[in-house]
Structure formats: C-alpha cells, structure tokens
Amino acid sequence: EDDIERSLATTNLEQLVANAASDNPPVQLNAVQSARKLLSSDRNPPIDALIESGILPILVRCLECHDNPSLQFEAAWALTNIASGTSMQTQAVVAAGAVPLFLSLLLSTHQNVCEQAVWALGNIIGDGPQLRDYVINLGVVHPLLTFIKPEIPISFLRNVTWVIVNLCRNKDPPPPVQTIREILPALNLLIHHQDIN
C-alpha cells in the first residue's frame, strides 16, 4: 500500500513539475502555487522530493517573469521554504541560481514580491558565513538598507531587520568590516525605533 501511495505521489509530482514549466500562465501559476502549498505544510514538507523532481530551475525561471508578479511571488515563497530547510537544501536553491534573481526582486514595485525576496535572502544568509559572504559580494547590503524608512510597513521592517542581523552573525570568519560599517547607521536607527519587537 505504501508503494502504491509513493508511486501515486511520484506521478502527481511529475505532473506538477510539467505544469510548472507550462507555457499556459494559469496552468503554470496553479502548479507553482500547489508546490508552494506542499512546501508550506506544517508537518514534514516534501522538500527533498521536490528538489529531486527537478522543479528548482523552473521555480528560479519563474522569478524572472516580471510581467507576472503573482507567479514571481509564489515561486519566491516556494524557494524561501526550500531555503529554510537543511544546509544542503539551502545550497540547492543557491546552486539553482536564485540569489541574483532574489536581489533583482528587491527592486520590484510589488511589495509582496519584494518582501518574499527579503525573506528568502535571510534564509540563505542565515545558513552560514560562506553563503552570507556570497550574498554580500553580490551586493545585498545597499538595496536592503533602502527599505529602512518611516513609511515601510512594520512587518516588512521586522523582516529586513532580521536579515540585517543575519548579515552580522557568524564569527568564523566574521562578516567583512566594510559591511559592518555600512550596516551600523541602519542598526542605530533600528535600535531607536518605537517598535520594541
């Protein structure tokens, strides 16, 4: 019975991946959204099964669909969930080429897309000093700091703050001195913010 369920799950996953690569926008969006929902499940999300299915490059390509912000958002959310897993799962997202695209999404005019990119980058930076430095070298600091302004919604600001804190973590090796210099004025502003959370 387990084998039947497993083969059924594999067939469904293959169909999901095929639909995620579809040229038909509603079919593609539906499939990417389904992948994201699978990855958002509370108990044992099938991260490895989805990585093995070959969906990662498809999700990364979806990040480039600037004419379809809903697709970008769903793909970014799915990738964020994968990057929140084990170190190997996070590195699979990086190896698929997601980081430069997440950085470009920081400039999106759609706040939900932008915020999801921030979250994904926070997960990747939080993996350890190697990925932290990789993302720093690709230029994450300046666009991140531009979000610290009075009109930013508080939930978004908390997310940005969490990523900035992740940039300062890990002492072996520590973050580049130049990065800390760039971040310090922002930390000063955040420390004096009225939101104590």
In a domain, 145, yes or no: yes
What average pLDDT is seen over the chain? 90
Q: What is the pTM of this model?
A: 0.89
CATH assignment at residue 66: 1.25.10.10
Give the list of residues 6+ apart from residue 114 with CB closer than 8 angstroms, or none.
105, 106, 107, 108
DSSP character at residue 23: S
DSSP letters for 108-166? -S-HHHHHHHHHHHHHHHTT-HHHHHHHHHTT-HHHHHTT-STTS-HHHHHHHHHHHHH
Contacts of 186 (CB under 8 A, 6+ apart): 145, 148, 164
Establish if 86 belongs to a structural domain.
yes
Between CA 173 and CA 128 the distance in angstroms is 10
Sign of the C-alpha dihedral computed for residues 75, 81, 83 and 89 taken in this order: negative
Confidence tier at 152 by pLDDT (50, 70, 90):
confident
Residue at 196 is within a domain: no
Distance, CA of 165 to chain centre: 16
Contact present, 181 and 152 (Cβ < 8 Å): no
According to the model, what pLDDT value does residue 4 have?
46
Do the domain assignments include residue 168? Answer: yes
Domain that holds residue 155: 1-191
- Tell me whether residue 41 is in a domain: yes
Query: Is 159 part of any domain?
Result: yes
Three-state SS at 172 = coil
Tell me if 197 is assigned to some domain: no
The structural domain count of the chain equals 1
**Residue 26 burial (C-beta neighbours within 10 Å; 0-12, 13-18, 19+):** exposed
pLDDT reading at 118 higher than 50: yes
Q: What pLDDT, in 10s, does the model give residues 55-104?
A: 999 999 999 999 999 999 999 999 999 999 999 999 999 999 999 999 99
